[in-house]
């Protein structure tokens, strides 16, 4: 079995992972959307990673989805709304028993991907690292963080997990990846939409703590109903801690909206509201929040899914 990592989605997080794996001597290939992107990448001569005052270019080979050859390890680093279609574009190349690592924030996209590739093992990740694109094919590592990886259907760590650690990617394998994804989703639901609605950084929510707290109470009810009591524990306190610790930062949703980019709302607040409705659970504040957010996105001409 080949030990090459194929990286699908050479954006911020995908480039960060690709450069660190390549730096550690791991075989990596980028899977790019089409021939035009591949030519643009080849002209750039590689992926550039900027960290503090160091900038280095990694000549990682690139290919398109329809290239020949099987894929055994696939890291999916697209946005949640692109993940399933991107994986579908390489599904025929996935070897039986291949591992697919999903870096998407939120919930829902992991199941959409798993439906595309029933012959693969899907591993979810929850990341608190931060990276952004300075320009095409150049990414800046902007925030130290951590990665939890796990397979909700199989607690055994993947054989390649050592590759990740050897590459200096801070990561831990966890059998409890679902509670982690739910907890992050709840944090994002309590913080991100309000930063868009109030047009503020995370610290700006210190002026709206009653509203944040009331949302956390509803989110806790949801987590309990979804069988995630661990993710509900101390949510309100954790949200306040994150607001304080990241007071000067702008949430990822705020940044997407400001840049006129589609948000991942469907896989965050949208997923929470759909789960509540599936369970017949009325969560008026969360539903109202979603309505306000949808109206806000529509008024800006942005997709609300
Ligand atoms: P990004 O937009 O920077 O990168 C996504 C890349 O996927 C883009 O380069 C895009 O062209 C590519 N892509 C889309 N469809 C494709 C296809 N069919 N084939 C090949 N490439 C395709 O996004 P990002 O910021 O790296 O975020 C990726 C995921 O990671 C998101 O779910 C995000 O919430 C999560 N995340 C990001 C960060 C961060 O700091 N950037 C941190 C934590 C979690
Ligand atoms: O993850 C975040 C984001 O901005 O997406 C934090 C910082 C936790 C705010 O919800």
Is 184 marked active-site? Answer: yes
User: What distance in angstroms lies between residue 57's CA and the mean position of ligand 1's atoms?
Assistant: 20
pLDDT digits (tens, 9 = 90+) for 235-264: 999 999 999 999 999 999 999 999 999 999
pLDDT at 2 over 80: no
Task: Give me 122's structure tokens.
Answer: 């899907």
User: 5-176: CATH homologous superfamily?
Assistant: NAD(P)-binding Rossmann-like Domain (3.40.50.720)
pTM reported for the whole predicted model: 0.97
Contact 254, 195 (CB under 8 A): yes
Q: Helix 177-198 vs helix 235-245: angle between axes, to the nearest 10 degrees?
A: 60
pLDDT digits (tens, 9 = 90+) for 85-136: 999 999 999 999 999 999 999 999 999 999 999 999 999 999 999 999 999 9
Indicate the average pLDDT of the chain.
97
Report strand pairing: 138-143 vs 130-135: antiparallel
Q: Which of 184, 196, 266, 269 is catalytic?
A: 184
User: What distance in angstroms lies between residue 164's CA and the mean position of ligand 2's atoms?
Assistant: 23
Site to probe by mutation for ligand 2, drawn from 184, 239, 246 as the one with most ligand atoms within 8 Å of Cβ, is 246
Mean pLDDT of 25-37: 97
pLDDT at 283 over 90: yes
Domain boundary assignment for the chain? 5-176, 179-299
| Percent of the chain whose predicted confidence (pLDDT) is above 70 | 99
Question: Into which CATH architecture does domain 179-299 fall?
Answer: Orthogonal Bundle (1.10)
Contact 152, 173 (CB under 8 A): no
Contact 14, 75 (CB under 8 A): yes
The ligand 1 atom at the shortest distance from the C-alpha of residue 82 is 15
**DSSP assigned state of 251:** P
> Residues with beta carbon inside 6 Å of ligand 1?
8-14, 31-33, 77-80, 82, 85-86, 89, 103-105, 127, 129-131, 133, 264
CA–CA separation, 184 vs 128, rounded Å?
9
Q: Is the CB of 242 under 6 A from ligand 2?
A: yes
Task: Give me 253's structure tokens.
Answer: 């949703």
CA–CA separation, 142 vs 135, rounded Å?
14
Ligand nearest to the CA of 184: 2
User: What distance in angstroms lies between residue 123's CA and the mean position of ligand 1's atoms?
Assistant: 17
pLDDT digits (tens, 9 = 90+) for 165-206: 999 999 999 999 999 999 999 999 999 999 999 999 999 999
Ligand nearest to the CA of 195: 2
Contact 76, 102 (CB under 8 A): yes
Task: Give me 284's structure tokens.
Answer: 């008026």
Q: How confident is the model at residue 1 (pLDDT cuts 50, 70, 90)?
A: low
Q: Which pLDDT belongs to residue 209?
A: 98
Q: Is the CB of 13 under 6 A from ligand 2?
A: no
Asked if 5-176 and 179-299 have one fold, the answer is no
| Centroid of chain to Cα 185 | 10
């Amino acid at each position: 079995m080949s030990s090459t990592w194929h990286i699908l989605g050479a954006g911020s997080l995908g480039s960060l992972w690709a450069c660190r794996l390549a730096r550690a001597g791991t075989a990596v290939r980028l899977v790019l959307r089409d021939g035009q992107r591949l030519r643009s990448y080849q002209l750039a001569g590689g992926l550039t990673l900027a960290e503090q005052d160091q900038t280095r270019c990694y000549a990682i080979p690139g290919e398109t989805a329809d290239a020949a050859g099987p894929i055994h390890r696939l890291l999916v680093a697209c946005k949640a709304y692109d993940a399933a279609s991107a994986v579908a574009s390489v599904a025929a190349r996935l070897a039986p028993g291949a591992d697919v690592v999903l870096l998407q924030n939120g919930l829902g996209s992991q199941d959409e991907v798993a439906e595309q590739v029933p012959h693969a093992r899907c591993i979810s990740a929850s990341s608190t690292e931060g990276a952004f694109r300075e320009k095409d094919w150049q990414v800046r590592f902007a925030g130290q963080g951590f990665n939890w990886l796990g397979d909700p259907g199989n607690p055994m760590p993947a054989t390649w997990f050592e590759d990740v650690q050897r590459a200096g990617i801070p990561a831990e394998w966890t059998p409890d990846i679902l509670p982690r994804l739910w907890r992050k989703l709840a944090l994002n639901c309590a913080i991100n939409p309000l930063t868009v609605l109030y047009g503020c950084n995370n610290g700006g929510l210190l002026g709206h703590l009653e509203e944040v707290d009331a949302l956390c109470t509803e989110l806790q009810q949801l987590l309990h109903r979804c069988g995630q009591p661990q993710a509900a524990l101390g949510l309100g306190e954790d949200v306040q801690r994150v607001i304080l610790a990241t007071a000067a930062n702008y949430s990822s949703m705020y940044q997407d909206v400001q840049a006129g980019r589609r948000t991942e709302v469907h896989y965050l607040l949208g997923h929470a509201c759909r789960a509540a409705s599936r369970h017949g659970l009325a969560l008026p504040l969360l539903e109202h929040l979603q309505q306000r957010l949808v109206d806000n996105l529509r008024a800006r001409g942005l997709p609300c899914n």
